[in-house]
Amino acid sequence: METTQNLQSQITIDKRQGQNQCFDEMLGDLSLRAMRIPGGTLTMGSPPDELERAAWEGPQHEVSIQPFFMGKYLVTQAQWRFVAGLEQLNRELDPDPYRYKGDNRPVEQVSWYEAVEFCDRLSRYTGRDYRLPTEAEWEYACRAGTTTPFHFGETITTELANYRGADQKIGDTVYPGNYGSGLKGEHREKTTTVDRFDVANAFGLVDMHGNVWEWCQDHWHDSYEGAPEDGSAWLSENKGASRVIRGGSWNNVPRNCRSAFRDFDYPIDHYNSFGFRVVCGAP
């Protein structure tokens, strides 16, 4: 097996990884590649001894996941414009909402409701059921069989992902731009193209750590007590409840980009660090 190892062997990248079955959804002259995510079991959340762990990442629990397909990349601006040009269903979509412009950069400044509208329009256009991932599906797909803080291994570098590689001071607290014994790096202060880091995980997914936060279906809960065990979305009675976001962004320190880290925001909010990717059933 050909591998690259550095940072005291804490990062191991299999050069053969990311060869899963996939299909290309054609959007005019554009394609949206979806990777097959096999079914399996996930130990969701972080162990109590994981470095810089947050209380809301537990308790760890077993979740069963059915097979699905997930976008290899974050939804791009070119893909967003195409779908925004389709007939409206429940709400208008601004074809040009993003701050950091570029056809192959991820769409950002998109609310949860707008991401859902995108999925609904895409579903009608293609005849397939596109949607946002559940939080359990997202973590399962991100980990791709790993149990380390990142699918790369125990740490991360800005040569592998787009995140804040410099320290961040908030009040009296300094959040480090490195993780564990990893090195500090760049803070690019903007998004990068979705294929800038050609390092897929074992399921063939790219950019699962950093670049932009990814909306999930689930309503926010402060812990996993009572969470579903079947991989379904965990919803509450409050339809306006905060929604889960995953993966961290270009503006977050590595702690927030770990596979287990979870955060939330209101479904009407849109920031230049919020984007998404889509999932669907078998093509």
pLDDT along the chain (283 residues), means of 10: 41 51 96 97 98 97 98 98 98 97 98 98 97 98 98 96 97 96 96 94 97 98 97 92 98 98 97 98 74
CATH homologous superfamily of domain 26-280? paralog of FGE (formylglycine-generating enzyme) (3.90.1580.10)
Residue 105 CB coordination number (10 Å): 23
| pLDDT in the model for residue 237 | 87
State the pairing for strand pair 274-275/262-265: unpaired
**58 CB contacts (<8 Å, ≥6 apart)?**
45, 46, 48, 223, 224
Q: Could you tell me if 249 and 212 are in contact, meaning their C-beta atoms sit under 8 angstroms apart?
A: yes
**86 CB contacts (<8 Å, ≥6 apart)?**
121, 122, 124, 125
CA 202 – CA 207 distance, rounded (Å): 13
| pLDDT in the model for residue 85 | 98
CA 9 – CA 165 distance, rounded (Å): 20
At how many degrees (to 10) do helices 112-126 and 77-84 cross? 70
| pLDDT in the model for residue 159 | 96
| pLDDT in the model for residue 240 | 85
| pLDDT in the model for residue 10 | 52
Q: Could you tell me if 10 and 154 are in contact, meaning their C-beta atoms sit under 8 angstroms apart?
A: yes
Amino acid letter for position 3: T
| pLDDT in the model for residue 6 | 44
Backbone angles phi, psi at 66, to 5 degrees: -85, 155
CA 283 – CA 280 distance, rounded (Å): 8
Two tokens, residue 260: 């287990």
Two tokens, residue 199: 């390092």
The DSSP symbol for 239 reads T
Q: Which of 106, 42, 39, 113 is nearest to 77 (CA)?
A: 106
pTM of the full predicted structure? 0.94
| pLDDT in the model for residue 239 | 80
CA 162 – CA 254 distance, rounded (Å): 10
| pLDDT in the model for residue 283 | 65
Longest distance between any two alpha carbons in the chain, whole Å: 53
Domain range summary for the chain, segments of one domain joined by + = 26-280
CA 257 – CA 278 distance, rounded (Å): 19
